[in-house]
Chains A and B, each alone.
Chain A
Amino acid sequence: MTTGHSIRGMRETATPPMVRSRLLYGVNEATGWHDFAAEPHRAEISNCLRAIGTQMVRIYVFDRHTPDPVRDWAGFARYVEAVLAAGATPMITLSRFRPPLDDVAVLRWFVQRCGELVWSCIEQWGGEVVRRWYWCIWDEPNSPWLNPGLDFDLYRRIYVEAASEMRRWLEPYSGDRRVLIGGPALDTFQPFWHDWLWRFVHEIDDSLIGFVLWHRFGEWRAPGEWSAPRQQDVFLDLLMSRSSGYTDTAAIVGDLVRDRGILNICGKLNANAHVERRASDCNQTMFGAAYYVLALVNLIRGGADAELYWMGTDAGGPHGLWDREGCATPTFRAKQLIAQTIRPGDEILIEEGGARPSDLVLVRVRRQGGERATLIVQAARQRRAYRLTELTSGTVIRQLDEATPPREIATPDIAENISFDGFGIAVVTGDVSVLP
């Protein structure tokens, strides 16, 4: 019997092609909506959103802690205005209605509310503006935690009726374009989320679906909970290894929607979804920054059309890119680097090195104008140095790691090496080689 050794060469692969980025950058503005929408720090937060190239902001109605468009139209309007002021497009999530979910009268009432919201928005901002907005029906309907008892058949009924009603108001302004209504905002921790995706795409008329939305976090547990590793280092290493999973999920969705003209949007992402800081504070450290950068490049590789980070403003929680005053986390600064380096239309190629696959990741970027850049991500906690070769005059390095504040170095000051104190990200202009 031949051993694995004797056919080692068969793992050889052809060099993969570069992938063209379609990814629009975005964030969720949810529990921190008041700080995001109101003074005194609205301007700072708006600047933050612009700095990270935000093109889409997901906001919520018909949910806890968000303004009710019926009773508090002024609050809702401020919420939307804050999105527009940042130069972004809103994705309005019509989160849910109260049970009984299968009561036709309740459903009819919800559908009417959705239609009226669209109509009111058109009245306030005009059809030419509102037709570009995204409308998401429901949030994580497949999660028994959030929506116990909601099965796909029931969700489909809600979706079709709400989407049809909303389309009635949007269609006069849409022209030939499909209305940007979508769902189901799937929780991909659920084991059979594929069923929902497949049925959503196959059992609802394409004309009613503008996008498919799905959520992916790396983890929801704290160390030691529910069989998660108890040791913090192991827990985080394992979490980092999952950053490559964004490619697979984006590709699974893309496989179904690509030929149907439906957008593929990752509607929530972050490293750890746990609500307590003891488990999720990694989101706002250089660890979280490296995780997010790897998630972004993997979303690009998987062909996703947009991503919406969970979340932008987060007063005291562990998920935000900034706090209520717009004070930024390392994850914000990492996204800023990425948004400036990789834009829609640019091409990327991901390479891996290091002892473990995601310890050191290089992303070669070829911009539409022909310029090149190399993104270096060290996703390991050790201090490590690498030698850079093929530097050219005018090379600039922008670096972010656990020891250094963001800094920019231009030749001839650059030594031919770069070192990271733990998790770190660097963007080097040009196509450079990185040697251990």
Chain B
Amino acid sequence: MQESQPVAKLAPTHVRLRYGVNETDSWWHFAQSEARERIRERLREMRTEIIRVFLYDKNAPDPLTEWPMLRSYLNAVLAVGAVPMVTFAKFDRPADDPRAVRWFAERCGDVVWQCLEEWGEERVCDWYWCVWNEPNSTWIGGGLEFEKYRDIYENVAAAMLRWLGPALQGRRLRIGGPAVEGFQPFWMDWVWRFLSEIDPRLLGFVNWHLYADWREHGENGAPPDPATHQAIMLWQAREYERRALWVSRFLREPGILNMCGEWNAHSHYLPRVRARFNQTHFGAAYGGLALLNLIRGGVDAEMLWTGTDDGCGYGVLDADAIPTPLFYARRLFAQYIRRGDRIITPKIRAGTADLDGMIVAGNDARRSAVLVHCQPHEATYDVAELTCGEFEGQCMLIKVDGGSGNGVIVQRSDRRIGISGYGVAVISNVVAGRDVAVGRDWA
């Protein structure tokens, strides 16, 4: 059969992933605070390529009345060296009122026009535009029906095309949605209908969100024992790969990107609760597993929720740019697993769920094994056994774990490596990026 393709895990042979973050509730710190330069430097260290920003929600500046603030928000993205994904989060008028839809579409079109005026066609054509945020969630996006969302989407896309169309010169408009909330039982309906019912020429990307849990230990049927709850969350990180592959089956054209636009371990409604999951070494391990599985699933971009965070319980940087363990884990990924790298071994496993990992090779002769340790206790592993002899000779070990303090350790890799509790470790034949300086300090 000429047209048919075998159905299996569509394991990609190369890394497609662009790294990104959301900068939302704490956008002011990222855009205007005294720490902004340090924050941007940290985001560059994570090789951040896309930064998702919000309009019409999250206390974001209003484009009509606060354009200078919005300008600083978007300039902050550009200063990082990233491309913005501007999310038109919602409107507060009745969604089934055609005048309200037209009004919203006009507002979105105006923002595009203003951006073209401010930053020019060449730049703005590369930006991403996301229509609405979690329309399938009553809590977040108002609980729209898909038919209404489709109407809004098509109107906004038409309004944007009016301004961006002439500048695109045949390129695909980078507009997308539905930024679907992944806890809802029929979330996949939205992705399927989004990709099936909207003209593919109006689709630049499909955006889906996934957190492991929103419940505290013992809340709403969650396991009361913290160790059990955490173990289940880590086990479920494979869901990123499954969802990525499921979405990719329905992409009708190759230029439509598959994006995980929001993710983290936990989205409890109280910051202090979710911080215990997201901003600890457990969060680093969960994040590492999420990234491994997004890469295995062939996802084109991920955007962590969030980058900068002033007491919200999500971010990898606080208002003073002080990093969490997940920041270092992400930096290890970004430095040692880069877009375009060849995937040599997609899955390294030790024990049933103790350790997960991947081996990749770059065009620059860099060869790295990235390992995620999923247990709270200390463990030692035989490098040759883990990597099937891929790392014989002199290699370096770079890791963030319970023993590395608030940072990474860079040291020569022995035949056996130890990891203290939850963490991420890299065995590589080169030391990359910021770790060069860290290694010098440790030496």
Contact = CB atoms under 8 A, between A and B. Distances in A.
B249 A357 contact: yes
Interface of B: 1-14, 16, 49, 83, 126, 136, 143, 145-147, 171, 183, 185-186, 188-189, 192-193, 196-197, 213, 215, 221-224, 228, 231-232, 235-236, 238, 242, 246, 248-250, 254-257, 298, 300, 339-340, 352
Given A4-B300, A356-B250, A362-B1, A238 B189 contact: yes
A194 B255 contact: no
B186 to A, nearest CB: 7
Nearest to B81: A1
A227 B186 contact: yes
5 contacts: A10-B12, A16-B9, A199-B228, A229-B193, A351-B1
B122 to A, nearest CB: 12
Contact of A362 (B4, B228, B236): B4
Interface string A237-255: 1100110110010001001
Contacts of A101: none
A259 to B, nearest CB: 7
Interface of A: 1-5, 7-8, 10-16, 151-153, 189, 191-192, 194-195, 198-199, 202-203, 227-230, 234, 237-238, 241-242, 244-245, 248, 252, 255, 259, 301, 349-354, 356-357, 360, 362, 433-436
Nearest to A196: B221
A189 B196 contact: no
Contacts of B143: 227
Contacts of B197: 234
Contacts, number: 138
Which DSSP category, helix, strand, loop or mixed, fits chain B's interface?
Answer: loop
A351 B236 contact: no
Given A2-B340, A198-B231, 8 more contacts: A10-B298, A16-B6, A194-B235, A195-B222, A227-B146, A255-B238, A349-B6, A357-B250
Contacts of A2: 339-340
Contacts of A433: 1-2
Contacts of B215: 192
B146 A353 contact: no
Contacts of A199: 223, 228, 232
Contacts of B248: 11
A63 to B, nearest CB: 23
B83 A248 contact: no
Contacts of A353: 1, 3-5
B410 to A, nearest CB: 29
Contacts of B249: 244, 357
B7 A301 contact: yes
Contacts of A13: 8-13
Give the top 5 A-B pairs by smallest Cβ distance, nearest first. A16-B8, A353-B4, A351-B4, A10-B14, A353-B3
